[in-house]
Homo-oligomer: A and B are copies of this chain.
Amino acid sequence: MGQEHRRKAVVLFSGGIDSTTCLAVAKAEGFEAYALSFFYHQRHGVEVEAARRSAPALGAREHLVLELPLDRIGGSALTGHEEVPKDVPVEKMSDRIPATYVPARNTIFLSFALAWAEVLGAADIFIGVNALDYSGYPDCRPEYIAAFERMANLAIRETVEGRMRIKVHTPLIRLTKGEIIKRGLELGLDYSLTHSCYDPDARGLACGHCDSCILRKKGFMEAGIPDPTRYVRD
């Protein structure tokens, strides 16, 4: 496998703060970034539009957006009609897994990343999961990522025939939201291009009160940077 093949990476890219920073880190580490986004019938489908606008600006070599019918499986406030929780204090967020949890979401996303990685000849997959300032999702923890990586190396032709070894990179896993934003600013990111809110209004404006908005505000506060987001209600 040629040099150029070893440098490709598939980057899971929602267009939020974490995955945008993750893409910038992959580029800074010398990878050619193949950004992968999903329209999974999330109520904040507007994030896919943010991702479409920002992927070229971030220097992604390609950007693939796949539609997945996760609404037909259900089990989440993000794909159904259940209410998105509001104004949960940060310190309470990881007490229990919230209504915005989507069953097996990262497993499904990483599975598609694995398929695309094999076709591209990319041994590297980046995912912006975070085990510190997070919403208590089980599929954001280091032990889950390690188990996925192990499974991946038994799953596909390129690894089983010994031509590559899949590595799942999680450069943000031990950072706070503030540290993530600082890292992104060092890399020259413009966070006004990102979208975080789980429950935007019809115009796409952030609600300011869901877990994702609360973590976003905390991040900018910790980083000591003005938050560029326009919220419906602060």
For residue A66, CB closer than 8 A to chain B, the reply is: yes
With A72-B64, A151-B150, A154-B147 in contact, is A104–B97 under 8 Å at CB?
Answer: no
* Cross-interface CB contact of A114 among B107, B118, B154, B160, cutoff 8 Å: B107
Residues of chain B within 8 A (CB-CB) of A72 are: 64, 66
Interface of A is mostly: helix
Residues of chain B within 8 A (CB-CB) of A69 are: 66-67
Residues of chain B within 8 A (CB-CB) of A66 are: 69, 72-73
For residue A167, CB closer than 8 A to chain B, the reply is: no
For residue A70, CB closer than 8 A to chain B, the reply is: yes
Complex Cα distance A151/B114, Å? 15
Enumerate A132-157 residues with CB–CB distance to B below 8 Å: 138-139, 141, 143-144, 147-148, 150-152, 154-157
For residue A103, CB closer than 8 A to chain B, the reply is: yes
Query: Contact mask A183-216 → B, CB, 8 Å, 1/0?
Result: 0000000000000000000000000000000000
Number of interface residues of A (CB under 8 A): 43
* Cross-interface CB contact of A104 among B106, B118, B150, B161, cutoff 8 Å: B118
User: Could you tell me which A residues sit within 8 Å of B by CB distance?
Assistant: 64, 66-70, 72-75, 97, 101-108, 111-112, 114-116, 118-119, 138-139, 141, 143-144, 147-148, 150-152, 154-157, 159-161
Give the top 6 A-B pairs by smallest Cβ distance, nearest first.
A104-B115, A75-B119, A147-B151, A138-B160, A103-B115, A103-B118
